[in-house]
Amino acid sequence: MATALSLPTPTPGPASDEARSYGLRLRMAYLLAISLTLALIAVRNPPLVAFRELSVEDVVGTLAALALISAFLERAVEVFVAAWRVGEQQQLEIKLQRLRADRAGGADVKALRLQISRFRHETRMYSLAVSVVLGILVSLAGVRALAAVVESGQIEQGYWHNGFFSVLDVLITGALLGGGADAIHKVVSTFTTFMEATKSRVKGAG
């Protein structure tokens, strides 16, 4: 009679605990954002805004300018982070090469690889944080994404509305610039593809 193999039940480790904690924080952030939005609508009921009449060239030109600024930020962040983090990463990689040369145990090599992987992940997170902070500072200096597509006269109906719109514009523009030029290029590509497809359908219908 064949005996059934009993597989060990996986026990949750630090990685799974961290993932659950991150998911919980994310859900709490969503709930907080929704609650604040509903409270703002109930108390203030902000007026609707009107969008500017923009051509395809206007939209692409605005996004191209944002992409150029984002590319500048990326390069600046690379310089800052390299001066701060590259030296320690190189030391870890040299240590890994020595372990391999000495034919050290697999556990030691695996542990060091994991350490290097975590170090690179931390570096990426630091780079993203610095990029977003710099993006917000650039936006505070006057570079705004939402203001470029909204009629300015529509957001002057009271100080609170104008201030709230400006804060939101700074945060969104800062995140957009900090996200990198590639993300903005994807937006440009998606927009131009959509407009070309729409133009082709209109011509076909005519």
Per-residue pLDDT reduced to its tens digit, 9-24: 444 444 556 667 767 8
Check if the beta carbon of residue 59 is closer than 8 Å to that of residue 177.
Answer: no
The pLDDT of residue 187? 84
Q: What is the DSSP string of 19-76?
A: HHHHHHHHHHHHHHHHHHHHHHHHHT-PPP--B----HHHHHHHHHHHHHHHHHHHHH
Beta-carbon neighbour count of residue 38 at 10 Å? Answer: 10
Number of H helices, E strands in the chain: 6, 0
Tens-place pLDDT, residues 105-140: 666 667 777 777 787 888 888 888 889 999 999 999
- pLDDT value of residue 105: 61
Q: Taking a C-beta distance cutoff of 8 angstroms, is the pair 169, 147 a contact? A: yes
The residue ranges of the chain whose pLDDT is under 70 are 1-19, 22, 41-42, 44, 46, 96, 99-109, 153-159, 206
Q: How many CA atoms lie within 13 A of 83 on its CB side?
A: 5
Hey, what are 152's tokens? 């300015």
The verdict on pTM exceeding 0.75 is no
Q: Decide if 74 contacts 134 (C-beta within 8 A).
A: no
Confidence at residue 173, expressed as pLDDT on a 0 to 100 scale: 92
**Contacts with 101 (C-beta within 8 Å, 6 or more apart), sequence order:** none
State the pLDDT at residue 18: 62
Q: What backbone phi and psi angles, to 5 degrees, belong to 173?
A: -65, -40
